[in-house]
Amino acid sequence: MSQKNTQFGHASNRCHMCKQESLFLVIDLGMHPHSDFFPTEAQLYNAEITFPLRLMSCGRCGLLQIDYFVDPEILYQTDYLYQSSTTATGRAHYATMAESIVRRFSIPPGSLVVDIGSNVGVLLAGFKEVGMRVLGVDPAQNIAEKSIAGGIDTIVDFFGSALAKAITVSHGKAQVITATNVFAHLHEIDDSVLGMKELLADEGVIVIEAPHALPLIENVEYDTIYHQHISYLSVKPMRSYFESMGLELFDVEKNLIHGGSLRFFVGHPGRHELSSTVDSLINEEELAGLYSVEKLAQFADRVRGQKEALLSLVLSLKKQGKSIVALSAPAKGNTLLNYCHLDASFLNYATEKNPLKVGRYTPGVHLPIYPDEKIIEDVPDFCLLLAWNFADEIMKNMTTYREKGGRFIIPIPYPRIYGETNS
Ligand SMILES: [Zn+2]
């Protein structure tokens, strides 16, 4: 029995990409609530649903993935609060990305660019600026409305082959199809990829950006595991998957956003020159042990060790009477907070720049969320940096707090206090 249906989702031991029943357990992180559902005060009186969160690996194609799928309607259409434009680093990244794709593939002005999971439209704004016709697709109504208000034409729906056909009729074929930090979220991955194939012009390019599974394993970035992320991408399974779908992965670029990401370039077979980077990255992944049972078992041990170390650090600070708050409340922070059970007895509150989250509570441990400015007023002794991948930018913005003696705890790749000698 490969699939077990439950009330709010289903469990499966069948690989998301190669479709073999060949998954084995890497680490069980326990039961977790939906990491992007931030309850309001009234909702705290409701029962909070939690789901199993287990990282699995495919013994056949090597894809890391979870084996419990929360229904996408629950994950994306109820009160979704993630906005991709909230950090300056993120905005600059997307502007550069649009420009570099247009330049590299000499995309003529007026060509259609479709962004899947377009969120508030940051990436498409970059394409629009360089003269492209742009169209976003995103299932979250509240987020898509912002994008439309910002002048980016957006379809509120899940992307798949039926929608791709409709877009082809209404807008024509796309020269560029982008999917940033959404490909690993796709539930109906085959239908989505068939849709991309349908919509893509002959010489067009699909650009997929997603966190690389290698730094996840090497730097113990287990907090990037949550239910929206169904798979944790690496080059080897992606190449065989696209081949099985009648497309070709012809190049991969590495970049540093989100703790280490890959940019995959996919086209119709034979339409683009094959880069040797594809083979060399697969080689690098294999040498690093990404597909090795032993190496993955070591990763699981390191995750458990990291939890112990973070709890010991927090406990020792609490024993000294220190106050600690969580600075920023990203989805991934909730995996960490819930896995380590860091509730209000350890952390006074969390803060956020995203106004949609302020006044609500973090899922699971229910820390109240205040605006970032509260930290400047209160000057807690320590801020736990949950968005550690934006540590430099965040700490730069917190100069006043640092000048008043505030310090930072960085949890990943190993828990440590930053700023004891730097402040
Ligand atoms: Zn597989």
Q: What is the CATH number of the domain that holds 8?
A: 3.40.50.150
Give distance in angstroms: CA of 23 to centre of ligand 1.
Answer: 8
Give distance in angstroms: CA of 204 to centre of ligand 1.
Answer: 27
Whether 24 and 89 map to the same domain: the answer is yes
Neighbour tally for 315: CB within 10 Å: 11
Q: Which residue, among 80, 58, 84, 85, has the nearest Cα to 70 in the 3D structure?
A: 80
Give distance in angstroms: CA of 60 to centre of ligand 1.
Answer: 5
Report yes or no on 403 lying in a domain.
yes
In this prediction, residue 421 carries a pLDDT of 46
Give distance in angstroms: CA of 280 to centre of ligand 1.
Answer: 21
In this prediction, residue 312 carries a pLDDT of 97
Q: Nearest 5°: CA angle at 410, between 407 and 411?
A: 140
Whether 318 and 349 map to the same domain: the answer is yes
Report yes or no on 288 lying in a domain.
no
Give distance in angstroms: CA of 232 to centre of ligand 1.
Answer: 12
In this prediction, residue 185 carries a pLDDT of 85
Whether 184 and 324 map to the same domain: the answer is no
Give distance in angstroms: CA of 64 to centre of ligand 1.
Answer: 8
Q: What is the DSSP letter of 326?
A: E
Beta sheet of 248-255, edge-to-edge order: 154-155, 133-137, 112-116, 174-180, 200-211, 261-267, 248-255
In this prediction, residue 84 carries a pLDDT of 57
Residues with CB under 5 A from ligand 1 (ion): 15, 18, 58, 60-61, 63
Tokens 């993120």 correspond to what residue? 90
In this prediction, residue 79 carries a pLDDT of 59
Whether 241 and 365 map to the same domain: the answer is no
Q: Which helix (H) or strand (E) holds 11?
A: strand 9-12
Report yes or no on 373 lying in a domain.
yes
In this prediction, residue 86 carries a pLDDT of 55
Q: Is 329 exposed, middle or buried (0-12, 13-18, 19+ CB in 10 A)?
A: buried
Whether 91 and 1 map to the same domain: the answer is yes
Give distance in angstroms: CA of 69 to centre of ligand 1.
Answer: 16
In this prediction, residue 3 carries a pLDDT of 83
Give distance in angstroms: CA of 14 to centre of ligand 1.
Answer: 8
What is the C-alpha end-to-end distance of the chain, expressed in Å? 57
Give distance in angstroms: CA of 62 to centre of ligand 1.
Answer: 6
Give distance in angstroms: CA of 248 to centre of ligand 1.
Answer: 18
In this prediction, residue 423 carries a pLDDT of 37
Q: How far apart are CA 242 and CA 382, in angstroms?
A: 46
Number of domains forming the structure of the chain: 2
Domain encompassing residue 119: 1-272
Whether 345 and 406 map to the same domain: the answer is yes
The model carries a pTM of 0.89
Give distance in angstroms: CA of 411 to centre of ligand 1.
Answer: 31
- CA–centroid distance for 281 within its chain: 21
Give distance in angstroms: CA of 290 to centre of ligand 1.
Answer: 14
Give distance in angstroms: CA of 104 to centre of ligand 1.
Answer: 32
Give distance in angstroms: CA of 65 to centre of ligand 1.
Answer: 9
In this prediction, residue 356 carries a pLDDT of 87
CB 282 within 8 A of CB 275: no
Whether 305 and 243 map to the same domain: the answer is no
Tens of pLDDT, residue by residue, the chain (423 residues): 578 888 888 899 999 999 999 999 999 999 999 998 899 999 999 999 999 999 999 999 999 999 999 988 787 665 556 555 556 777 788 889 999 999 999 999 999 999 999 988 999 999 999 999 999 999 888 888 888 998 999 999 999 999 999 999 999 999 999 999 888 888 889 999 999 999 999 999 999 999 899 999 999 999 999 998 999 999 999 999 999 999 999 999 998 765 588 999 999 999 999 999 999 999 999 999 999 999 999 999 999 999 999 999 999 999 999 999 999 998 889 999 999 999 999 999 999 988 989 999 999 999 999 999 999 999 999 999 999 888 888 888 899 999 999 999 999 999 999 865 443
Give distance in angstroms: CA of 13 to centre of ligand 1.
Answer: 10
In this prediction, residue 43 carries a pLDDT of 93
CB 84 within 8 A of CB 119: yes
Report yes or no on 77 lying in a domain.
yes
Q: Is 399 exposed, middle or buried (0-12, 13-18, 19+ CB in 10 A)?
A: exposed
Tokens 């169904």 correspond to what residue? 230
Whether 375 and 257 map to the same domain: the answer is no
Whether 310 and 234 map to the same domain: the answer is no
Whether 81 and 212 map to the same domain: the answer is yes
Report yes or no on 12 lying in a domain.
yes
